[in-house]
Homo-oligomer: A and B are copies of this chain.
Amino acid sequence: MQQQIAVITLGVVDLARSRRFYARGFGWAPVFENDEIAFYQMNGLVFGTWLADQLEADMGARAPARPGAFALAHNVPAREDVAPLMQRLAGVGGKVLRAADAPPHGGFRGYVADPDGHAWEIAWNPAWPIDENGHVTFAT
């Protein structure tokens, strides 16, 4: 079976607030949006932000939006890119969970929660190559 993740969907409370965060913070443009969901074409997968009650109804499970059970990471090309992006995200509704510093495993990273509390690690990881299409390869 393909080692493939097709979609990551985050439950959000306010679609316009979420849209602003991803558009103004990361600079990402949706490929599709309506009044309940926005889809972004990413590096070989699709990222969705969907009204949390719709996501809950779709998956048939209640969904308290708690931060921390998982994290998404966006990797930047240089160490110097980490702090400015975190600052921009914090300026558009994000909350800094951990200021940028150097973890034991190398590189440089910090964490920012999106307006719904979903954690994003903003990382510079010189060990993992990223091609021009944004495809990331594990390496040690």
Contacts and interface: CB of A to CB of B under 8 A. Distances in A.
A102 interface: no
Interface residues of A, number: 69
Given A62-B68, A119-B61, A3 B40 contact: yes
Interface string A44-85: 111100001001101111111111111111110000000001
Given A2-B134, A39-B138, A68 B72 contact: no
Interface in A27-45: 27-29, 31-32, 39-45
Interface of A: 1-11, 26-29, 31-32, 39-47, 52, 55-56, 58-75, 85, 97-98, 103, 111, 113, 116-119, 121, 123, 125, 128, 130, 133-138, 140
